Chains A and B, each alone.
Chain A
Amino acid sequence: MVIDNILAAIDVLANGHALLLMAVGVAGGLIAGAIPGFTIAMAVVLTLPFTFGMSAHLGLATMVSVLVGGLSGGLMAGILTGIPGTPSSVATTFDGFPMARNGEPGLALGIGVWSSFCGGIISAVLLMTLAPQLAKIGLEFNPWGYFMLVMFALTITASLAGKNMIKGLIAGALGLLLRTVGEDEAAGMARFDFGSDALLGGFDFIAVLIGLFAFSQLLNDVRDRETAKKSLTQRSTIQVKIEHRRAIAEILKRWTIVVRSSLIGVFTGILPGAGGSIANILAYDQTKKASKYPEKFGTGIADGIIAPESSNNAVEGGALIILMALGIPGDVTAAIMLGALLMNDVVPSPSFITDEPVLAYSIFISFFIATFMMLGLQSVMLRVFVRVTRIPMYVLASIILGFCGIGVFALQNVSFDLWTLLWFGILGFTMRHFGFPLVPMILGVVLGNIAELNLARALAITPDLTPFFTRPWSLFFMIITIFSALFPMFQGHRIKEKAWTLFYLPTACFAISLPLFMMGGLTRPVLAAFLLCFGTYLLWQRKQNGWRFKA
């Protein structure tokens, strides 16, 4: 069955047209990822209008290619100029740039490229194996569980905003509220149309995404007059030859770092809201802590390039696992993918892989193919990158704003979408300026109607609210929502050694074990018992330490 699906997906993608589109996607992603100020999400969202005339398989394969290219493109700028192309390649500059300055830019790029490749392949394998399994678990979710899962996704995204958690939560709520504008899907009644026919149709979700992410980002990039006129590099050529053989040898010597960092990347991707920007720093930090020579980090060692590059490429596999298995986007790019699926009348849910196996497997396969293409195209795109970085930012921003206009109109041939783009561009820019994170808002917009529809379904089954507390999956997500919401406070108070923080983790273990016991079967009660034991051990340990974290 799986083999049949894989073969069917290969059949869809193994033709000149599809491969050409994917190659263009990877090349475009590499360039977009390499330009500081342009994010991968921006590149993927701007690809969306081009895909509307394609089949869902081709459109998504192109977008996945842009995504894979973008994830790897950041390393070029980071290593050669010291300015990370994307937030997900910040840690790459710590050792990549010094290595390049030490006279080995070819080796630094080679290590970066091959680490990205390994991270991508590990993540693609996990995507193909884990997503169908997780989807089986997802099929157990009832409307109560699914509603709480959405709430969990929003809360954890906001809590990742750290000190700005309250702003993150407000942004998430604002996204949910703006999604309610227009006719509601359950009853077909007009909401918040303020007498306008245009508002009756609601805001087009893609126009909102492009406005919030691309438009506002471009304005941010040209905010400073002098910076806007400058190009990234004045150099007309950068003579670098990627040293593949030496790079492979260096990576093989450090395969444990590749595997560990890739797993960190996949796990971070699975966590809604966390993304490459967190994963690369986390992987770098963990590698440094585990290293026998931590003092050498930052001087241009291979370990410092392998860790961030393999983790940031693995992130998207994790985000896609959650999107394809549960229908919940793990980050902004996955949210855009969800938009692409919706554009093709495919509603991602736990039954997505079962209902649309060829489409699902074509996403898996395109992730693989794109990762291989990235490897081949990186050397070619290096020359293009040098040319692109000579173009001043204001020129790039003006052209892309012009593209945004054409692209957004092309989505539905509706002028109102262009106004949506403008208003949400202004809103996104203002929110960025006032320190409100945009990711929770985007997830709010994306997940708003999923949450409402599941709430409506739950209440249609019974108007009683107790199933939210008595159904295992609903209770499970409710508990982890509460604990993830408290996590930033826990982190802050733990440093101050406040007493309640001693009980945070044990209480979380005890609380989570309850729904796991309720789920029945064998594995989950065993896991619950383990959590109970672990929580008890933590309490005992703290008592032994005189009610402190460490004696």
Chain B
Amino acid sequence: MKRLNRDSIIAIALLLFCGVFFWASFDIRTPNYGVLKPSTWPRVIIGIMSFLSLIYLIQSLKGNPNIATAGKSDREPGFRGWVDYWRNPLWCFALFFVYLALLPILGMLIDGILFVYVLMGVLGGWDGKKPLTHAYIAVLTIGFMWSLFTFGLGVMLPSGIFMDPI
């Protein structure tokens, strides 16, 4: 057996995930009607998933060529290399998180424009005329979508505290 590789770590994480869900399945109340208990189907799936994860773990420990190894990358070693390699997706996640957190305050229009503007800046850079171009694009595209949904489709998008009277 080889030492733990990335696949075996994923398999262990999946087994832990199954464990948590199996434990949580005991919180599901059973009514006094119906033949199939509400907890039965999830437990069947958890059982199957645990079994499959176990096979995955064994295959990964054996170094079975029948499982394609989880994504090998050409990134630099260490935490810094990891952050550098995943910089763009991490920024996307972080900015979307901030976008969602600020949504009740700024509303969909302002928050959306800011999100798209900042994201374009972070991914594409801030040099030259880019900030101005990005601003145009963000205002036009999100403004168009917001107008389409608000006035065209009649959707009540979050207005935020600044545009509440609107």
Contact = CB atoms under 8 A, between A and B. Distances in A.
B66 A223 contact: no
B27 to A, nearest CB: 8
Nearest to B55: A166
Contacts of A218: 92
Contacts of A463: 35
B108 A405 contact: yes
Contacts of B124: 228-229, 392, 394-395
Contacts, number: 187
B119 A223 contact: no
Contacts of A429: 89
B92 A222 contact: yes
B123 A402 contact: no
B42 A177 contact: yes
A492 B133 CA distance: 54
B28 to A, nearest CB: 5
B157 to A, nearest CB: 6
A206 B63 CA distance: 37
Contacts of B134: 395
Contacts of B93: 219, 422, 425-426
Contacts of A434: 6, 10, 70-71
B95 to A, nearest CB: 9
B162 to A, nearest CB: 18
A223 to B, nearest CB: 6
A524 B156 CA distance: 55
A199 to B, nearest CB: 11
B35 A406 contact: no
Given A192-B42, A223-B88, A401-B96, A170 B52 contact: yes
Interface size range of chain B in the complex: 35 or more
B69 A219 contact: no
A394 B88 CA distance: 10
Nearest to A459: B35
B97 A180 contact: no
B158 A163 contact: no
Contacts of B29: 189-190
Given A186-B34, A410-B157, A415-B100, A401 B123 contact: no
Nearest to B152: A53
A398 B97 CA distance: 14
A224 B88 CA distance: 7
Contacts of B70: 433-435
Contacts of A134: none
A174 B68 CA distance: 19
A169 interface: yes
A225 interface: yes
B67 interface: yes
B100 A419 contact: yes
Residue in A50, A53, A189 whose Cβ sees the most chain B Cβ within 10 Å: A189
Contact of A394 (B39, B120, B142, B155): B120
Given A166-B59, A406-B112, A434-B6, 11 more contacts: A164-B68, A187-B33, A188-B31, A191-B25, A229-B124, A415-B103, A426-B93, A429-B89, A434-B70, A435-B68, A456-B36
7 contacts: A166-B52, A177-B21, A177-B46, A192-B21, A399-B141, A422-B97, A434-B10
